[in-house]
Structure 1
């Protein structure tokens, strides 16, 4: 009975398990080094990164409404976490800030701040995905050839090892470990060819890659191709349950009145929430079933996850694009895959840490290189080009900005460019006009757009006052407009007086008595009222409702 209730709450599906199970293995293999690398770069214990990944999988995915999003420690927060730990002086004090940040995210979810995610333009989101793909490729190439100076999962252009993306590439090819290179090359070949073999394609190609990578690294021992310990995954090895329990750290609640704790908490809550909303929008774009994730529920899930993480000794988490993309590309269908990946992380730490520590980073780099290619393949650039410059330019600018800065900065730059095109299109689409010549002169009819805001004021004013002298009859039709800004109505009224004084005829249709109440709100209220009375579909059109 209890199991049935849990299954109903999580909406688990036996039908989709055959897709989610292999996908969860791939996400686990990708998440494992990322959790460790991000924890190391953040100045936190390695176990804290794994714990955050476990909580992100089991806890957050259980409460989330997104079917394909995967949560865990985020590379975009490493600088903030590292600085916060140093500023607050103790890791236990920092954990208190993580707990408070989680509670703040719960509040953001309750007040429905997730609606912000609906205002990211598609061109910017698609550009962000392509940029992430390019970044993954550029960042994983050094790991592919055995140059592991930066942490596994680094995303920013300026790296934590005082190099940048391009200098790291140059140095990597000057310090190739041929054993790592061979393992990566063989792994890529398997990832590309394995799905084409019908008899064995049910076995996840990334799992084959890892098994073969471990076998090759063992075969290379004692030769010039041998891998060093820095070329392998490294997770804490626990010998007993007591040692496992000892890995947990708990927050210092005596610092609750420390203002610096609250400042750090607020910073983490805002940035983690923005990254999550961006990731959710991006994952919905690449979801083959085109499902729409509830963003407010996602903020609640992230709040629960971060609160739990802070209470147990983990670092902040967000919904993360790299792991989510790996989930989609591996055929995941529901949040079962994210939950299972968290379970695999937990079991790996408890049961087989020594075996996990044999996995070469270069074969995991191959998995990410394959994922990066799928995010940034050429067809995406062709599609955006055919959509026109107002879509292509923000797309390209977002890619360049993300690759040369970081995720949030790059998306911010892309948003500014997209807003420029949105405003320009808005200004140029304020109205349509039709001119009819007659014996006495000409008549012009201005038909205003559906939404006329103060941004259209200048364009409408310029068009009206620059009419040719032969125009002696002017009709301004606002009957099709759902909203006309009061400033625009004032401009139209002033022009009417001006034109009449010049002996022209002006007719205003549906403008003077325009009530300008937000029509979506009125329409929604009408639907709710009708639904509560008779539970029957509303048969009125939106224009009929507005007329009432």
Structure 2
């Protein structure tokens, strides 16, 4: 038996690069998985379970080569609302249903249609989630209980500030959380130490060490153990969600999990694909992989998953070459949960809240908003309106508002009507040619232009230049022709 002398030197750098990248992604994912779980109102271990499934299930399936899946800050607000509305035991049923819906969408090759969704709506949705996340996690930074929804959290901020001013423990917790955010912002990216220790891990680790060393009176994560946290859903949970009073709300939650998670995944793919030369993501296959992962998460009663830009970009930047890196990151999370679960009990809740505040801020596309406002002001309005609607109402109404506004904007921009008048001379009818697309959105302007024509001249109307005429405009033009001038 002979071995090629070049096989091992070629393969080893690839494997070693994937191992190194997997460790970097693991260190980035660890505090985020725990933080998203705590912010979602579920045991911290469930966030790690979702990260493990994202690596070992979604990571093995075809789709993207470098995208890393796990619990995401973009779904935190949805999960928190679902847990408060339906209970923790029902979460598995909702996530399982979302996973099955994603599998169906992938099988029907609907993944590509997410490209048709306005980017402004997607960015506005993420911005709205980020604002709601910040407003809620500010309370966590002070070891206080949030109100649960965007308007309530915003309205309660003055009361929170007054509480912090008179409570020493709340002030201490806020200092821990604020310091965590400061470390995340100032952590030197180009420093050799920063390359080895990602900012989220460094911030949480330093906060935990400081709290332990100084004996600060701040809340820490409650640890139940993996077996105690995992609660697979049963038939009773399914029956509770399909009741007359809860079915519509449960269906809305499933749809929100599916659409927001899928949109965030494919939006992540669009951002990560230019960073590598492995080819573009196959959207339908990636949707199938996400569906399979969410189905498994649902069976385990864990959080929903989506591909995450921060972890995915860290994977590429750390030198990943194959899918091995994202699979191994799930292995490292599993090893951590199995061997070192007690470490979670050392982490201050305020530090994790600080990580989520920073993550929420990163969801707000300030640079893109400035560019849109300069070059595509209508898209900027759609983005801002979507975000404000999510903060002021809820996720479902906010997204629907954004989609409706985007459709109206597109219809307005695509409908353009122009009148071309030609005067052949005295005694002959004035020739008026209408060009473009005549829709009800342009009807007031069209009628104003027709009424502005000379009333003492006969008019010969030519509509051959119209590409499209809707019923409202056709009726108005026929009425004008028969003497409605």
TM-score by length of 2: 0.73
Q: 1:227 aligns with which of 217, 237, 258?
A: 217
Q: Say whether residues 1:319 and 2:303 are aligned partners.
A: no
Which residue of 2 is the match for residue 32 of structure 1? 34
Aligned in 2, Cα 1:373/1:485: closer, same or farther, shift over 3 Å? Answer: same
3-state SS in 1 of match to 2:306: strand
Q: 1:364 aligns with which of 352, 356, 361?
A: 352
Aligned in 2, Cα 1:176/1:472: closer, same or farther, shift over 3 Å? Answer: same
In the TM superposition, residue 26 of structure 1 has moved relative to its aligned partner by 1.5
Structure 1 or 2: more helix by fraction: 2
Distance 1:207 1:287 in 2: 22
Which residue of 1 is the match for residue 145 of structure 2? 149
Which residue of 2 is the match for residue 208 of structure 1? 202
3-state SS in 2 of match to 1:376: coil
Distance 1:473 1:422 in 2: 32
In the TM superposition, residue 352 of structure 1 has moved relative to its aligned partner by 0.7
Aligned in 2, Cα 1:497/1:411: closer, same or farther, shift over 3 Å? Answer: closer
Q: 1:58 aligns with which of 56, 60, 63?
A: 56
Q: 2:167 aligns with which of 175, 180, 191?
A: 175
Aligned in 2, Cα 1:400/1:248: closer, same or farther, shift over 3 Å? Answer: closer
Which residue of 2 is the match for residue 518 of structure 1? none
In the TM superposition, residue 59 of structure 1 has moved relative to its aligned partner by 1.9
Q: 2:274 aligns with which of 289, 295, 315?
A: 289
Deviations 1:482-536 (A, max 9, x none): xx4685896699589859xx9xxxxxxxxxxxxxxxxxxxxxxxxxxxxxxxxxx
Q: 1:300 aligns with which of 282, 288, 294?
A: 288
In the TM superposition, residue 77 of structure 1 has moved relative to its aligned partner by 3.2
User: Which moves more between the two structures, 186-195 or 64-73?
Assistant: 64-73
Deviations 1:131-182 (A, max 9, x none): 33333333333333x424349xx775446xx995665455445435454444
Distance 1:155 1:294 in 2: 36
In the TM superposition, residue 23 of structure 1 has moved relative to its aligned partner by 3.9
Q: How does 1:445-484 map to 2 (within 5 A)?
A: 445-449=433-437, 467-468=453-454, 470=457, 474-478=461-465, 481=467, 484=468
Aligned in 2, Cα 1:207/1:395: closer, same or farther, shift over 3 Å? Answer: same
3-state SS in 1 of match to 2:420: strand
Which residue of 2 is the match for residue 512 of structure 1? none
User: Which moves more between the two structures, 487-496 or 439-448?
Assistant: 487-496
Aligned in 2, Cα 1:107/1:127: closer, same or farther, shift over 3 Å? Answer: closer
Which residue of 1 is the match for residue 81 of structure 2? 79
Aligned in 2, Cα 1:375/1:255: closer, same or farther, shift over 3 Å? Answer: closer
Q: Is the 8 A contact 2:63 2:284 kept in 1?
A: no
Which residue of 2 is the match for residue 218 of structure 1? 212
RMSD: 4.5
Q: Indicate the structure whose relative CO is greater, using CA pairs within 8 Å and at least 6 residues apart.
A: 2
3-state SS in 2 of match to 1:195: coil
Distance 1:377 1:417 in 2: 19
In the TM superposition, residue 257 of structure 1 has moved relative to its aligned partner by 8.4
Q: How does 1:99-498 map to 2 (within 5 A)?
A: 99=96, 102-114=99-111, 117-144=114-141, 146-150=142-146, 156-158=150-152, 167-168=159-160, 170-172=162-164, 174-175=166-167, 177=169, 178-195=171-188, 197-203=190-196, 204-221=198-215, 226-228=216-218, 230=219, 232-237=220-225, 244=227, 249-252=231-234, 260=242, 263=247, 266-280=251-265, 282-283=267-268, 287=272, 289=274, 296-311=284-299, 313-315=300-302, 317-319=304-306, 324-327=308-311, 330=314, 332=316, 339-376=327-364, 378-387=366-375, 389-426=377-414, 429-440=415-426, 442-449=430-437, 467-468=453-454, 470=457, 474-478=461-465, 481=467, 484=468, 487=471
Which 5+ residue runs of structure 1 have no aligned equivalent? Answer: 1-11, 239-243, 503-548
Distance 1:254 1:141 in 2: 36
Deviations 1:57-116 (A, max 9, x none): 432344473554634384303433454459xxxx4x875675455434423333345466
User: Which moves more between the two structures, 460-469 or 184-193?
Assistant: 460-469
Distance 2:423 2:172 in 1: 81
User: Which moves more between the two structures, 205-214 or 250-259?
Assistant: 250-259
Distance 1:370 1:124 in 2: 22
Distance 2:480 2:174 in 1: 76
TM-score by length of 1: 0.66
User: Which moves more between the two structures, 364-373 or 15-24?
Assistant: 15-24
Deviations 1:328-369 (A, max 9, x none): 675756877764554343222211111232122333333333
Aligned in 2, Cα 1:475/1:270: closer, same or farther, shift over 3 Å? Answer: same
